[in-house]
Structure 1
Amino acid sequence: MGCLARFPTVAAWLVALVVTGVGTLAALQGLRALEPSAPSHLYHLHGIVVATGKGELFAVEESGTTKLIWFQVAKGAPISFAHVLRHLHSRAPTDVYYLPEKNGLPLAWIAD
């Protein structure tokens, strides 16, 4: 500390460098928070969960239409089926990120 007291210009530069570094890291973290949380290769559907089926099946009514789309929860997906049931009971808007399947139901990876 004695050196910094003797050389206030060096101390000022050091403080400015630290403040700039911390500000830059904070800005980068803020930009990361603004990124979409879902991977770009997943399709998106916004609607309301209206039904559930055997296993981990659930149906979403697409916003603005009466069309029902059934989804199967993908194996290894971070979806809590209890959370989907809460959306069903509260009729809450739900965003589903999924992968379409050629021979079956779309696989839901994220539902919130």
Structure 2
Amino acid sequence: MWNEIKQILKKTKGTCIIVEDGQPAYIVTLFDDYQKSLDQRPENKIAAPRFKENINEPELTAKINQEIVDWKVKQAEAAQDVQLSDIQDSDELRIENLPLA
């Protein structure tokens, strides 16, 4: 089963959530991705970047909107359809969408 999970992680370039009793119980992710997420945490940074003092509202709005667009593009690239047809059918492994509401 571990090899199947590793194959899924390689194909999705992301994270695998392991569910027990219908609830998310564990998260398996690539070590490099985990390390990057730790490096991006605010408490790991010496000083948070500041806006220039004379930024006006339209500039700030434009900057925020651009960051949102960039984030959406990045999310769309990461969520490309993955073909899992070469992974063996197994009673131990079940892939399903989880409602995250």
> Same fold by TM-score, threshold 0.5 exceeded?
no
Greater per-residue strand proportion: 1
Normalising by structure 2, report the TM-score. Answer: 0.31
Q: Which has the higher helix share?
A: 2
**Higher relative contact order structure (alpha carbons within 8 Å, sequence separation ≥ 6):** 2
TM-score computed with the length of structure 1 as normaliser:
0.29
